[in-house]
Amino acid sequence: MTENPFFRPSTLEYELPPFAEIREEHYLPAYRRGMAEQLAEIAAITATGSAPTFENTLVALERSGELLRRVDVVFRNQVSSDTTDALDAVDAEVSPLLAAHHDAIHLDRALFARIEELYGRRDELGLDPESLRLLERWYTGFERSGARLGEAEQARLRELNAELAALGTTFQQNVNAATRAAALVLDSAAELAGLDEGAIAGAAENARVLGHEGKYVLSLKNTSGQPELAQLADRSVRERLLAASLGRGVETNGPLAIRMAALRAERAGLLGHPSHAAYVVADETAGTVEAVSGLLSRLVGPAVANARREAAELAKAAAEDGIEEIAAHDWAYYSEKVRQSSFQVDAAALRPYFELERVLRDGVFFAAELAYGLRFTERPDLTAHHPDARVFEVFEADGTPLGLFIGDFHARASKRGGAWMDSLVAQSGLTGQRPVVLNTLNIPLPASGEPALMSWDEVRTLFHEFGHALHGLFSDVRYPRFSGTSVPRDFVEFPSQVNEMWMVRPEVLANYARHHETGEPLPAELVERMTAAEGFGQGFRTVEYLAATLLDWAWHTVPQGEEVADAEEFEARALAAAGIAVDAVPPRYRTAYFQHIFASGYSAAYYAYIWSEVLDADTVQWFEGNGRTVRESGETFRRELLARGFSRDPLESFRAVVGRAPETGPLLARRGLV
């Protein structure tokens, strides 16, 4: 299959994948050849008669697997953003093969012997700091992957990894199918009372696309809460919408979650850890289960108390409508009423000021220019992975080309929920590659000819994901292993959270928040009221997040051999035991659709968001009070942290910016927990 576009490096600018040439039938042959080529490259490393050196072992490892990387980054993006039945079938076939391939490398005794010998002589090798770190990380990676296990234990480890890979793929596909199937179909616009005209028109267009001509469809987002709950006036419709969300995938994915948690616990035991959580956190910045548990336990009590205070305010508003007790499907609706009455803020009234194109160019891109001097030029001549996705070339302040940014912003039935960043080409001095990064969101597609208006939370998400993009674009490392966002899970969210601060910086907000029809700026006093209203909602947001985090933690601290009979019962007990069971505040994700921990890389690591927010809140305070200009602060943050990737200890990079170890005070103040 010599015409397969993956079989050769891309000749496009920045080695942008040749999406116009790629077909579904190209993926599987490219995967098979890519794995075979890398194993041959590994065999060449171990077959050499020469003693191990940094160049003939570690650098050779870093260079290996180029074809496999090319196909994998494209396929992972494609199956997440625009999947088909055929791609899902490839995913199901490839996932266990990739797990076996990973094991074939990391359980190769001859290869580990070479790395171990170099590691034992590391003080004699005269390596520069990044090269020494590369040796240390490869050595640690092999140990954590089971390189020291005996033959029988390694054989069982291979079985566990293959089954977990297959189950994770099935879990993801089940979530996608359940989310599509649970979309709420409504017969009349009257049932959507409370939504603005644009949202109602969007629901009608969504119905047409999904084959429900003449009706209205509210498709589900990936989280438990659905944005329409804040506006829908019909309580029964709110109840149906939330029930559809919370009930997704229970029958199919509950048993899978039980099985995956048990397999992960067994694997952790094989690798010398008392639980999967202990295994995961040992290689994160947190370091220990006790450190994570300590932070979470300190937050639960104040967060629940804050949420109960908010509930009392909501109950007063609900009582005016004859509702005696606030239910989960009422919370967002009456929160919006309280915001309107107490803070004179109407979330729906903000949407006309947040038009996607303007938010992107005059907000997100403008902030990047303000802090880092970047310029963006759209490149319609370059083809992305989907017709809706757009390609931008990114330039330094002096005109030097930096990389490519791809934005895929709109929801579609073939895209999984949520928002994320990918690196299609990772920066590396060793390979000479420059970055190609991608942001994917799920902003509802407007009706034909209408502007894409965004909610306050969607604007925040756009700034957040672009923070990940900057982390990839600014990478300045030699070795691919350390590039961009290849950092611990409990650190990777930190730079993206910092980038959210530009959303409300006065000079940035004034530049993008303008009414899409009149051009009038968003009134400053409305921003102040919205910020105050955000403080009111912190109880709910913190509790729903902590509930999901503690649910993840509960699944992954189950000891090996302990049986779980029913996923829903386990979930209820875990939340009650953690003191976070608030009936009117469901977890941000329930077990059956918790893709982060059962189909992604966040198992026992969903705590990463709050752990990273400690660093984020501290850094935002530094940005605002260090006495330097925005541009000077931006350059320091870029040079000392964003550019470093994982080429040095991430907390060392934090200290290089802020000048000290992180402190929790700014986070507690932000979350209203002091």
Tell me: do 551 and 672 sit in the same domain. yes
Same domain for 238 and 281, yes or no, is: no
Count of structural domains, the chain? 4
Q: Would you state the pLDDT for residue 604?
A: 97
- Annotated catalytic residue within 205, 313, 465, 571: 465
Exposure string for 52-80, b = 16+ CB within 10 A, e = fewer:
bebeebbbbbbebbebbbbbbbbbebbbb
Q: Say whether 235 sits in a helix, a strand or coil.
A: helix
Mean pLDDT over all residues of the chain?
96
In terms of Cα–Cα distance, which of 517, 522, 585, 525 is closest to 551?
585
Task: Say yes or no: 363 and 431 in one domain.
Answer: yes
Partnered with residue 405 across adjacent β-strands are 392, 437
Q: Is residue 217 domain-shared with residue 257, that is, in the same domain? A: no
Please say if the pLDDT value at position 456 is more than 80.
yes
Instruction: Output the CA–CA distances (angstroms, integers) from residue 101 to 114, 139, 406, 452, in the order listed.
Output: 19, 18, 30, 43
In terms of domains, do 174 and 208 share one? no
d(CA 443, CA 412): 9
Whether 128 is in a domain gets the answer: yes
Examine the pLDDT at 525 and tell me if it is beyond 70. Answer: yes
* Residue 523 within a domain: no
* Amino acid found at 459: V
Percentage of residues in the chain having pLDDT higher than 90: 91
pLDDT tier at 445, thresholds 50, 70, 90: confident
Q: What is the pLDDT of residues 196-252, one digit of tens each?
A: 888 999 999 999 999 999 999 999 999 999 999 999 999 999 999 999 999 999 999
Position 532 confidence tier, pLDDT thresholds 50, 70, 90: confident
Return the DSSP state at 430: T
Phi, psi angle pair for 409, to nearest 5°: -100, -25
**Which is nearest to 296 in space by CA: 70, 634, 614, 635?**
614
438 and 308 within one domain: no
pLDDT for the residue numbered 522: 93
pLDDT one-digit tens code per residue, 76-125? 999 999 999 999 999 999 999 999 999 999 999 999 999 999 999 999 99
Q: Are 22 and 30 in contact (CB under 8 A)?
A: no
Contact 599, 172 (CB under 8 A): yes
Can 117 be counted among the known catalytic residues?
A: no
**What are the start-end ranges of the H helices in 320-444?**
328-343, 347-350, 356-358, 366-372
Position 89 in a domain: yes
Residues 592 and 445 in one domain: no
Q: Is 153 part of any domain?
A: no
| Residue type at 641 in one-letter notation | L
Let me know whether 215 and 309 are in one domain. no
Name the E strands within 396-464: 401-410, 420-425, 436-443
**pLDDT of 290:** 96
- The model's pTM is 0.93
pLDDT attached to residue 89: 96
Write down the pLDDT at residue 530: 83
pLDDT at 296: 95
pLDDT band for 48, please (50, 70, 90 cuts): confident
Helix spans in 227-288 (H): 235-246, 250-270, 276-281
337 part of a folded domain? yes
Contacts of 120 (CB under 8 A, 6+ apart): none
Whether 227 and 125 map to the same domain: the answer is no
Residues 529-536: what's their mean pLDDT? 83
- State whether 502 and 558 are in the same domain: no
Query: Does 446 fall in a domain?
Result: yes
Taking only the tens place, the pLDDT of each residue in 362-420 is 999 999 999 999 999 999 999 999 999 999 999 999 999 999 999 999 999 899 989 99
Both 58 and 109 in a single domain?
Answer: yes
Q: What is the CATH number of the domain that holds 618?
A: 1.10.1370.10
Other Cβ atoms within 10 Å of 566 Cβ, number: 12
Tell whether the model's pLDDT for residue 328 goes beyond 70. yes
* Shared domain check, 278 and 363: no
Q: Find the domain containing 142 and state its range.
A: 5-148
> How confident is residue 421, by pLDDT bands cut at 50, 70 and 90?
very high
User: Is pLDDT above 90 for 2?
Assistant: no
36 in a domain, yes or no?
yes
CATH number, domain with residue 124: 1.20.1050.40
Domain-located, residue 614: yes
Distance of CA 254 to the CA centre of its chain: 22
pLDDT of residue 484: 97
CATH at 467: 1.10.1370.40
Identify the domain boundary among 223, 246, 269. 246
Tell me the per-residue pLDDT of 561-581, one tens digit each, with 9 for 90 and over.
Answer: 999 999 999 999 999 999 999
